[in-house]
Structure 1
Amino acid sequence: MLMEKVAEILAEASAEAVEPRFRALAAGEVMEKAPGEVVTVADREAEQIISRRLRELLPVPVVGEEAVSADPELARSLHTEPAVWLVDPVDGTSNFVAGRPDFAVMAALVRAGQTVASWIWQPVTGTAYSAELGAGAWRDGHRLTCPPPAAEPEKWRGVLKSRFLDPAAHHRLRANARAFDHLDPGRSSAGIEYPLITVGEQDFILYWRTLPWDHAPGSLLVSEAGGRSARLDGLPYRPEAPGCQEGLLVAADPEQWERIHRILLDGDSPA
């Protein structure tokens, strides 16, 4: 019941606060919350709706992207509370503002520091993804399993989100990534990018900055679909307060994850 109810909450909040403003934002409805980062009235209203309704389902703290922007201490709940909700009301706000369709509405439930359930709603396509720890991943109610990757790294496609790395590390990663078939620039929305792995459109993604509301939903989705989402030291992903730990490699297959890690981080030959 919880899985279905949260999916309904995200879709209904999107229909009320987000979708009517897509390509229809009025003057004054887009603000800069930090240098280079924008927020809209849709983000704030959707988060308020989702947070209130999630607390009605399970009365635990809600760590929402916009709430943390106003009160950074709220993110400490991830480490101090036995359970918290994570909410990203519009993942891909820059796309939303520009009228591009790559944005999503996301939530996750975290218990004892581990993501146990997650939801991704893609409003433009009307596609719902969900995952439950130990129980699997779904797209529109159908079980998801990551397709097996090609055997040769030369055929693998991926995304490097290395904007926040220092120049030397950025250059090294880009040089090592020449071993792969193709690097995509990404979609500027984790809620769009993670599902691409589960359907075989991408083989891997390397993220550096890993804000918890961006990555908890998709990491669980990929893991429950048979892939692997892990920190660069190999430990499984767990959502952390912003700035606590960075770097995350996501791949469609655990063995493939190891090979990608060796090629990207260590510069090993793909052979």
Structure 2
Amino acid sequence: MWIDTVTGILHEAAAAAILPRYRALTAGDVTEKTPGEVVTVADREAEELITRGLRTVFDIPVVGEEATAASPGLVTALRDAPAAWLVDPLDGTANFVAGRPEYAVLAALVRHGRTVASWIVQPAEGRTYVAETGSGAWRDGVRMHRAPAPTDPAALRGAAPTKFLDPPGQARVAAAASRFAALDQGAMCAGFDYPRLVAGEQDFVLYQRTLPWDHAPGALLLTEAGGLARRPDGTPYRPTDTKRGLLIAADARCWRTVRAILAPGPISAPPA
């Protein structure tokens, strides 16, 4: 089955290009891609391997994070092509460089602007998450269902990374922290934040920057497990969106509660 073929491609790329360099990077293996954003030789080599492999499954455009950094126009394939692959070869690169295990290999298949299949591989943890529209969310072959979150905001656990927030936004998050059971920066890796939410380890995450290769895989995993991924204005997440901001939550009630506290304002399309 092609779903399993893609899973194998991601694992093979991780085994060849990523795991051998985990906690074994040299100074020349790491460079600064943009101010504050690092990239490693593992990112680039893994993306090359994954791109070649995916084209043997479906010969369609591959929108990879590193290829798009070099050629920004590649991202238009998500909107213009009938189908395209999305690839983040090493999500959580800063964690990887620091020797922390919270990094992942992400991929998704987008058809007519909507994510229809996705993969999250956590090489250091040995876990694999797969989702397909209408077929559910799976961890290592076991189907996942997200249970409802607590109704009391004081019992909710979540994250709101502030790296890309302006000072007023950072102040709003800091002021709201005491209203929740826990509010931190998250894993600094979408490939860990989404699975943790599905597994019930946290109840929500509020993001500001929403690059498609970071969020398309996890958003499908979450929604197929029964959770919610919506923009702060209430509209559903789509990988073709260029909007900022994304609130992911265990369920619609949790989404409304957290949104009122962390991102107050009018909602054009409130979730049911």
When normalised by structure 1's length, the TM-score is 0.95
Matched, 1:217 2:217: yes
The alignment yields a C-alpha RMSD, in angstroms, of 1.3
Q: Which amino acid aligns with 2:138?
A: W
CA drift of 1:178 comes to 2.8
- The 10-residue stretch of structure 1 (169-178 or 142-151) with the greater mean CA deviation from structure 2: 169-178
Corresponding residue for residue 240 of structure 1: 240
Q: Which runs of 5+ in 1 are unaligned?
A: none
Q: Which amino acid aligns with 2:163?
A: R
Where 1:215 maps in the other structure, the secondary structure is helix
- The 10-residue stretch of structure 1 (189-198 or 163-172) with the greater mean CA deviation from structure 2: 163-172
CA drift of 1:91 comes to 0.4
What pairs up with 1:157-168 in 2 under 5 angstroms? 157-168=157-168
Stretches (4+) displaced over 6 A: none
CA drift of 1:240 comes to 3.0
Identity of aligned residues (%): 57
CA drift of 1:2 comes to 1.9
Matched, 1:193 2:193: yes
- The 10-residue stretch of structure 1 (179-188 or 37-46) with the greater mean CA deviation from structure 2: 179-188
Q: Which amino acid aligns with 1:56?
A: T
Corresponding residue for residue 55 of structure 1: 55
CA drift of 1:266 comes to 2.3
Alpha-carbon contact 2:161-2:188 (below 8 Å) kept: no
Alpha-carbon contact 1:156-1:182 (below 8 Å) kept: yes
What pairs up with 1:31-180 in 2 under 5 angstroms? 31-180=31-180
Rounded Cα–Cα distance in structure 2 between residues aligned with 1:31 and 1:156: 38
Q: Which amino acid aligns with 1:117?
A: A
Where 1:131 maps in the other structure, the secondary structure is strand
Rounded Cα–Cα distance in structure 2 between residues aligned with 1:79 and 1:175: 38
Where 1:266 maps in the other structure, the secondary structure is coil
Rounded Cα–Cα distance in structure 2 between residues aligned with 1:27 and 1:168: 37
CA drift of 1:97 comes to 0.8
- The 10-residue stretch of structure 1 (79-88 or 179-188) with the greater mean CA deviation from structure 2: 179-188
Alpha-carbon contact 2:162-2:185 (below 8 Å) kept: no
Rounded Cα–Cα distance in structure 2 between residues aligned with 1:25 and 1:265: 39
Measured against aligned partners, the alpha-carbon deviations of 1:185-238 in whole angstroms (never above 9, x if no partner) come to 211110011100011100000000001100000011111000000111111100
- The 10-residue stretch of structure 1 (58-67 or 175-184) with the greater mean CA deviation from structure 2: 175-184
Equivalent residue pairs, number: 265
Rounded Cα–Cα distance in structure 2 between residues aligned with 1:66 and 1:87: 9
Where 2:160 maps in the other structure, the secondary structure is strand
Measured against aligned partners, the alpha-carbon deviations of 1:46-91 in whole angstroms (never above 9, x if no partner) come to 0000001101100110000000111111111111111110000000
Rounded Cα–Cα distance in structure 2 between residues aligned with 1:162 and 1:2: 38
Alpha-carbon contact 1:177-1:263 (below 8 Å) kept: no
Could you tell me which of 260, 264, 267 is aligned with 1:266? Answer: 264
- The 10-residue stretch of structure 1 (226-235 or 159-168) with the greater mean CA deviation from structure 2: 159-168
